[in-house]
Amino acid sequence: MTGVPTFTKRQVSISAAVLVLLALYPLAVRGSFPMHLMIMVFMFAMLGVAWNIMGGYAGMFSFGQAAFFGIGAYTSSFLLTAYHVNPWIGLLAGGVVAALAAALIGIPCSNLRGHYFAIASIAFAEIVRIHFNNWKLIGAAEGLTIPMQDESLRSFMFHSSKAPYYYIMLGFLILSLGVCSWVATSRMGFYLRAIKESHDVAKVLGIDVVRYRMAAIMISAFLTAMAGTFYAQYILYLDPESVLILPISVQIVLVAMLGGAGSVMGPVIGAAILLPISEVTRVKLGFKGSGLDMIIYGTLIMLISVYQPQGVWGLLQKIGRKNK
């Protein structure tokens, strides 16, 4: 069975070793860029894992994840600036709001497949972006600035070091991996894969297609919104053009595809490969505004689609099997 995690002793020991290395990473590096880079890797890995639940397993290729990401970021930030609500509570509230928005969009999309679903997800995200750009209550196009607070875990804000953000995001990533592998191995995971293979056959077999698709979208939206709140607390400023835009949605899909859509660990591998390339080219080449960094990024997307469309995870598994 592809995608279902079956843990061997070897896998457990490899995972433990990787975790120890990741935990020690902040102690080993100097400067803020290596920390920022890893935080972005974890965040996009989490976003890719969340996408995978609906895209990889259920075959709903969402190109509108930025909407959920932005809703999460905006919900917690708005609650914090307007009502002084603790961002951790805002995090949960953002997840709930995003899941409700997902249900709202899930209804008209419940019968859409393939390209139609992809376009609908973009249309939805664009509506959210346009609306947030004009919504005075949440700062419209000017956005929101997170008020400064003393650094503490409770206030979800740290000034002296990026390390706490690093560990929080790593925790979030592990949590979403847990959710994803639970979905993958549960009854729901099998139903979702059946729906992906054939909508009609799944229906005939008695699977409540709409209900399971809806559940997948809502779980995915909740996790994506959590990452959104994290991002707002990390950057401390947000506006519609920094969290609600199509390029974010595309990057999420790309992370999942490059790693391997429909496998639990795939998006982690995808983020670990893609983010360093895109962040480094952006820092090294992007400042001139010449577009060169984005030309490289576009070329990379084309190369991945042509040469590695099945994802790196599949490739690694193949190599692993040969070595056994």
Residue 41 vs 120, nearer CB to other proteins:
120
Whole-angstrom distance, CA of residue 161 vs CA of residue 136 = 34
Residue 69 vs 297, nearer CB to other proteins:
297
In angstroms, what is the minimal distance from the CB of 68 to other proteins? 16
* Residues making contact with other proteins (CB under 8 A): 55, 61, 63, 105, 107-109, 111-112, 114-116, 118-120, 122-124, 126-127, 130-131, 133-134, 246-247, 250, 253-254, 257, 261, 289-292, 294-295, 297-302, 304-306, 309-310
- Residue of 72, 74, 68, 76 whose CA lies nearest to 51: 68
Per-residue DSSP letter, 144: E
Number of neighbours of residue 184 by Cβ within 10 angstroms: 24
Residue 122 vs 226, nearer CB to other proteins:
122
Residue 37 vs 300, nearer CB to other proteins:
300
8 A C-beta contact, residue 121 and residue 64? yes
In angstroms, what is the minimal distance from the CB of 80 to other proteins? 26
Nearest 5°: the CA angle 313, 20, 184 is 40
In angstroms, what is the minimal distance from the CB of 7 to other proteins? 27
92 exposure class (CB count in 10 Å sphere: 0-12, 13-18, 19+): middle
In angstroms, what is the minimal distance from the CB of 308 to other proteins? 9
Helices (H), the chain: 9-28, 32-52, 65-83, 87-109, 114-134, 163-185, 187-197, 199-204, 209-235, 240-243, 246-259, 266-285, 292-307, 312-323
In angstroms, what is the minimal distance from the CB of 11 to other proteins? 26
Residue 204 vs 306, nearer CB to other proteins:
306
Residue 16 vs 292, nearer CB to other proteins:
292
Encoded amino acid at 30, one letter: R
8 A C-beta contact, residue 73 and residue 80? no
Token pair for 211: 């209900």
47 exposure class (CB count in 10 Å sphere: 0-12, 13-18, 19+): buried
Residue 83 vs 307, nearer CB to other proteins:
307
At residue 169, the 3 state secondary structure works out as helix
Whole-angstrom distance, CA of residue 64 vs CA of residue 44 = 15
In angstroms, what is the minimal distance from the CB of 214 to other proteins? 14
- Residue of 37, 35, 72 whose CA lies nearest to 231: 72
In angstroms, what is the minimal distance from the CB of 297 to other proteins? 6
In angstroms, what is the minimal distance from the CB of 301 to other proteins? 3
Residue 246 vs 316, nearer CB to other proteins:
246
